[in-house]
């Protein structure tokens, strides 16, 4: 689904008429959500707007370079209540699911303030008052790039760095199937506008903590296989994270690694969000569409990268998820 001109025009009008904007993205934000926020926020500030970035999760350490001015704040209902209530527009980026916005989503929904959703994930229904959705885009950062261009905006080095980060991370460093010729052209333009491809890669991927690496090593030791080696899966408990001094955000990218194993078609990662909720991440090399499995359990996502947050302990969900994956492979 590509974006029509009317959608761009509606968002352009909102950005023009509004003065105070609150930007947010999903829980456990990734490079695309954060890069999209910083890129759009920087563009709006260049227009003289008042912009606030509020996220329910803390900023992961490897993305701290995006927060040079300290603008990315962790949402606090008491501290930020006035900021929420005095906004002209809410900009919800890289997510079309109220549940994954947690507490800030609940507060935003209570207001009559217009909500603009900019996202590249397939939608199951209407989300927000104004939508800029393209599920064929590589990333939300790509859509922000197109929006700024549509508005005849200038891509500054700050914007270029943020949007390059979005595209780099959501294309798996330009190796996933969502890497089109257009993506390379956009990335090239962002480099010409001031993004340093080498520096951004180092900042995102070559500053992993010792605790994260030790956690990953322990996971590789427990990697399991099903369906004659076509499915690789593993679990990450809170206890394991704690024993290695790691956080849930440190597991970003873990689900993608088993793609390098010959014969593996689908990867499933089960991680404890807390004692009563389980995060399930599904990845595919491209021969099997996995977002249908996620949707069966209330989740969603892209064809080859999807997930769901499930109520209940982690181990009670392993069998049911793996059974659905087996049906997918053998159906």
Per-residue pLDDT, 124: 72
Per-residue pLDDT, 242: 95
Determine the Cα–Cα distance for residues 248 and 28; give it in Å rounded to an integer: 8
CATH architecture of 210-330: Roll (3.10)
Per-residue pLDDT, 1: 62
For the stretch 108-161, pLDDT in tens is 999 999 999 999 998 877 899 999 999 999 999 999 999 999 999 999 999 999
Q: Which residue has the tokens 């993506």?
A: 183
pTM to 2 decimal places: 0.93
Which residues of the chain are modeled with pLDDT < 70?
A: 1
Per-residue pLDDT, 136: 94
Q: Where are the alpha helices (DSSP H) in 73-125?
A: 81-85, 102-110
CA nearest to 28, candidates 325, 272, 225, 267: 272
Per-residue pLDDT, 3: 84
Domain boundaries, the chain: 5-205, 210-330
Contacts 24+ apart (CB under 8 A), 183-191: 183/138, 183/142, 186/142, 186/145, 189/155, 190/145, 190/155, 190/160, 190/161, 190/163, 190/164, 191/160, 191/164
CATH code, 5-205: 3.90.1640.10
Q: Inter-axis angle of helices 31-46 and 140-150, to 10 degrees?
A: 20
């Amino acid at each position: 689904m590509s974006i029509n001109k009317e959608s761009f025009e509606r968002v352009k009008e909102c950005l023009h008429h509004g003065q105070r904007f609150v930007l947010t993205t999903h829980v456990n934000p990734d490079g695309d959500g954060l890069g999209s926020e910083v890129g759009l926020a920087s563009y709006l500030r260049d227009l003289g707007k008042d912009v606030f970035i509020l996220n329910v999760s803390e900023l992961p350490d490897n993305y701290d370079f995006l927060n040079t001015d300290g603008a990315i704040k962790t949402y606090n209902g008491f501290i930020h209540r006035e900021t929420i209530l005095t906004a002209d527009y809410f900009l919800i980026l890289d997510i079309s699911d109220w549940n994954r916005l947690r507490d800030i989503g609940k507060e935003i929904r209570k207001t009559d303030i217009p909500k603009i959703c900019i996202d590249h994930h397939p939608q199951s229904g209407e989300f927000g008052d104004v939508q800029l959705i393209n599920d064929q885009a590589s990333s939300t950062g790509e859509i922000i790039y197109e929006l700024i261009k549509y508005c005849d905006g200038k891509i500054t080095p700050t914007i270029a760095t943020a949007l390059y980060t979005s595209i780099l991370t959501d294309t798996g460093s330009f190796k996933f199937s969502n890497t089109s010729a257009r993506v390379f052209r956009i990335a090239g333009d962002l480099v010409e506008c001031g993004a340093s491809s080498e520096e951004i890669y180092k900042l995102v991927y070559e500053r992993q903590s010792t605790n994260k690496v030790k956690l990953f090593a322990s996971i590789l030791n427990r990697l399991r296989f099903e369906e004659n080696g076509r499915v690789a899966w593993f679990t990450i408990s809170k206890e394991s994270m704690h024993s290695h001094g790691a956080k849930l955000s440190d597991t970003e990218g873990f689900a993608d690694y088993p793609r390098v194993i010959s014969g593996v078609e689908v990867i499933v990662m089960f991680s404890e969000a807390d004692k009563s909720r389980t995060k399930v991440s599904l990845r595919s090399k491209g021969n099997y569409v996995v977002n249908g499995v996620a949707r069966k359990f209330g989740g969603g996502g892209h064809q080859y990268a999807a997930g769901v947050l499930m109520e209940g302990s982690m181990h009670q969900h392993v069998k049911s998820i793996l059974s659905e994956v087996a049906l997918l492979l053998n159906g």
